[in-house]
Structure 1
Amino acid sequence: MNSGNMVQRDTWATRTGFLLAAIGAAVGLGNVWRFPFATGEGGGAAFLLVYLLFIAIVGFPAILAEFVVGRSTQRNPVGALREVGSNGWKYAGAIVVATGFLILSYYSVVAGWFMRYFLLGFTDSYAGHLSEYEEAAAGEDVTEAMIMFEELAVGLDSLVFHTLFMALTVGIVALGIRRGIEVAVKIMVPSLIILLLGLAVWAATLPEAGAAYSYYLNPEFDVIRTEWTEILPAAAGQAFYSIGLGMGILITYASYLGEDRNLAEDGAIIIGFDTAIAFLVGLVVFPVIISGGADPGQQAVGAIFFSLTDAFTQVTAGRWIGLIFFGTVAIAALSSAISVLEVTTSYLIDEWGIERWKAALGMGGGIYVLGLPVTYDLIFLDLLDLFADAILLVFGGLLVMLLVGWYTPQFAVQELEKGIGDLGSLGHIWIWALRVPVVIVLIVSLALGVMDYIDFLTEDFASWINENS
């Protein structure tokens, strides 16, 4: 560590800038890409109901835990956890930083797909794009749709857009908090909200909008009762992922805050916007998918591209609506990506005294290289995603919750009270929420994630190695 060569840290110019950055971090591919197909796989409204419960039970207490760690130390996750706990806790911080590093490597490739589909709206009709794969794209054969998607998702185009997306991300982060991230999110996040509102109004006019709303908004409790072992961990994981927990984003962003800020109020605003935007995405995606004749319960990671693009060919002005939709997702992806890169960049700035632009370029370059295999074969997307999302993300988040809830509870309550005042019994309720429901949910999710990853390695990945050896 080169702590003797400290580089001056940035701060937020305005409260609005901080809130928009944190909202933008949460409202990325986790909400606009992952949320719709997770909801479809989970049974629609049944999943949505459980997801909203976990946002309240897990999300709000956890976001406050990350906030107090970041603001109290004014450090990146490694330095923050070391200072709050002890020297050994820096390894927990390293796990958090590594999680963001891994996630952004494949996240960039996925974001590149959305950029490509956005530009497709300018250069060609979606009907022409799908003419060869119309039956698979309509959702009649999800396996076939995935095979066709894999042909489009890898190769030179994927590499080019992965490169473009990472270059944009590095450029914004290199400019700093005030001149880069804050300026960018003040443009991107309001634009994202306006575009989604417009798309939701348009989606309400589609012929199958009523059926879509019934699927999305009227939960069948029998589904929850019979499939709770699948719905509960999936909803808990989505809640944690969508808010941006476990990647050090909220620790890092809070490290640029002053002590006069009401962290509970800020956390409620961020979660409120994040949840509202995720909900809004469902009001757009499901009417489009069902009106296009696809099955909303069969929307795998690649199949959703085909279902949406096929649906856009079935509706009036679908080409331009598709262009707006994919552009909206690309904006959301960029707002999240700059947040994740900022975590790794702040680590080099704080711990090694490296200048911001060099830190952003170095970390961005490493992330870019790690993502290259994903542009070659989608098996590497699963390899990275399952490990980073289902294991590292949850494990790192669990360690932070244990530190705050069990190791330093008195310090945590005192830090949270700055900018709020005496919390009284509410402080104890928050700590016990971290100690019991949050920790239990994360332990169960981690155990399930490890089992899923072992299954993937011994079956899917082993088969791929055999086929390519």
Structure 2
Amino acid sequence: MRDSFHSRIGFILAAAGSAVGLGNIWGFPTQVANHGGGAFLLVYLCVIFILAIPALYSELLIGHSAQANPVKSLTLLSGGKARPVGRLMGYLNVLGSCLMLSFYHVVAGWMVVHALGFLAKGVGLTSVSEFLLNSSMPRDLIFTGLFLTATALVVFQGVEKGIERWSKRLMPTLVVLLVGLIIYMLTLPGASVGLERYLIPDFTQITNTSILVAAMGQAFFSLSIGLGGMMIYGSYLKPGAKLGRLSLSVAALDTFIAFLAGLLIIPALYAGIHLGVSVGEGTELVGEGQLIFAVLPELFNSMGVAGPFVAFAFFSLLSIAALTSTIAQAEVPVSYCIEERKLSRPVATAASLALIGVFSLLLILFFEPLFGWVVTAVTQFQLPLSGLFYLLVVGWLWRRSNHLKEIAAGSFGLTLLRWHIRYLCPVLMSIVFYHVALS
């Protein structure tokens, strides 16, 4: 008997945890700030409904209908001559998950060392702080291994007792930390300027096509669509689950947390400007790795006695966001090993995380030539390509007892949904794929 989620809220928190990752906290806020503030928010919300939710629904539907891992699910539902392509895409999902987790665990290890490093600095453990906050191969090997172990310990316990139980603990903790940091940051001089830039729309930019493309890319990636994580979660839902409502709930929670992240990051950057910290590249605010590992630590260091403890809370927040994502994505190779290779969950977990550990080791040892290439291959090619294929499976390839035909029968609104998934969404996904391939 397959494992399953015990409750609706457990699934929503787990799926939102999969979606809420490091990209939400360092990517979304600067996208908003650099693309018209509130104008980008409006476009982003439209794109969530037009593209991201149908894509999320499609991925959940594939897993829920097949009740299997991505390899078997995509093979079964890619009917006729397309089955070999479906099987290939299923294997790419498993491989892509392992590659994504290899670099994600390295970055997650950095989050943990920064949290502990700033805590050590705050309590006066200078030598410990210096070891943790200065990059070194031994440090990266130790903490990447520790984060891999944390992921394995949760996944080892299964869906209900592991992933669902820990998601119910980690997600509320993440929200509490996020709200607490927002309240503190908004009290700092200069933060109100950032709040205005974040929330007040610049409607002169709303006709800029780059905003639409950026919003589509951010909406798609922020919901963790394209590597089979949501598909395997969908397969763990009990029969009769309301996938449409669940998709809306997951997207709403993910978007809410991304919005909260903006309320934290943008005011923090402008508080940094007030304190003399350089936070820009030309006319734009910095984003991604430079934001997290250069600009914000400099801001925390300029805060005086409170700085190390604020930094500890911030990097603890990022560590939790990373863990909720890794436990979801690790279930993809684990479920494949259990169902296709007939391994027990403990053996499947150990084998999957060991393989991911080997990939992580190679990235650490050969960081310069490999790390950026792997990140690009997964995020800019695998994700949009797989997402496009999910839409094609649901809209075109899944012939026998096609769910879209069943739900559309006798309903004009659902008929529009079927046509929307079959025609408009693949075109939009193709635009996203074309854009990121050229970027």
Specify which of 369, 384, 388 is matched with residue 394 of structure 1. Answer: 384
Aligned match of 2:67: 74
Write the distance in 2 (CA, Å) between the matches of 1:406 and 1:375. 42
1:197/1:300 CA distance change after superposition, 3 Å: closer
Please show how residues 194-213 of structure 1 align to structure 2 within 5 Å: 194-213=176-195
Contact 1:126–1:312 at 8 Å: present in 2 too? no
**Cα RMSD after superposing both structures:** 2.4
Aligned match of 1:441: 428
Write the distance in 1 (CA, Å) between the matches of 2:216 and 2:37. 15
Contact 1:20–1:186 at 8 Å: present in 2 too? yes
Q: Is the aligned partner of 1:340 residue 2:325?
A: no
Aligned match of 1:307: 295
Shift in Å, 1:70: 0.9
Q: Is the aligned partner of 1:365 residue 2:354?
A: yes
Aligned match of 2:3: 10
Write the distance in 1 (CA, Å) between the matches of 2:200 and 2:322. 29
Please show how residues 39-118 of structure 1 align to structure 2 within 5 Å: 39-40=32-33, 42=35, 44-86=37-79, 87-88=83-84, 89-118=86-115
Q: Percent identity?
A: 33
Specify which of 200, 203, 208 is matched with residue 218 of structure 1. Answer: 200
Judge which range, 431-440 or 259-268, deviates more. Answer: 431-440
Aligned match of 2:144: 162
Shift in Å, 1:45: 4.0
Shift in Å, 1:22: 0.5
Q: Is the aligned partner of 1:295 residue 2:279?
A: yes
1:219 aligns to what SS in structure 2? coil
Write the distance in 1 (CA, Å) between the matches of 2:164 and 2:349. 16
Q: Is the aligned partner of 1:318 residue 2:318?
A: no
What letter is aligned with 2:272?
G
Shift in Å, 1:48: 3.4
Aligned match of 1:133: none
Contact 1:121–1:320 at 8 Å: present in 2 too? yes
How many pairs were matched up?
A: 418
What letter is aligned with 1:72?
S
What letter is aligned with 2:216?
A
What letter is aligned with 2:332?
V
Shift in Å, 1:441: 2.0
Aligned match of 1:375: 364
Contact 1:122–1:323 at 8 Å: present in 2 too? yes
**TM-score under structure 1 normalisation?**
0.83
Structure 2 segments unaligned to the other structure (5+ residues): 127-132
Contact 1:45–1:220 at 8 Å: present in 2 too? yes
What letter is aligned with 2:102?
S
Write the distance in 2 (CA, Å) between the matches of 1:373 and 1:35. 29
Q: Is the aligned partner of 1:123 residue 2:120?
A: yes
1:289/1:415 CA distance change after superposition, 3 Å: farther
Write the distance in 2 (CA, Å) between the matches of 1:186 and 1:437. 36
Contact 1:154–1:375 at 8 Å: present in 2 too? no
1:405/1:154 CA distance change after superposition, 3 Å: farther
Write the distance in 1 (CA, Å) between the matches of 2:179 and 2:355. 37
Write the distance in 2 (CA, Å) between the matches of 1:81 and 1:54. 26
What letter is aligned with 2:154?
I
What letter is aligned with 1:83?
L
Aligned match of 1:250: 230
What letter is aligned with 2:279?
D
Shift in Å, 1:430: 1.7
Contact 1:406–1:435 at 8 Å: present in 2 too? yes
Judge which range, 292-301 or 26-35, deviates more. Answer: 292-301
Q: Is the aligned partner of 1:21 residue 2:5?
A: no
Q: Is the aligned partner of 1:450 residue 2:437?
A: yes
Deviations 1:205-229 (A, max 9, x none): 1212221012111232333445x33
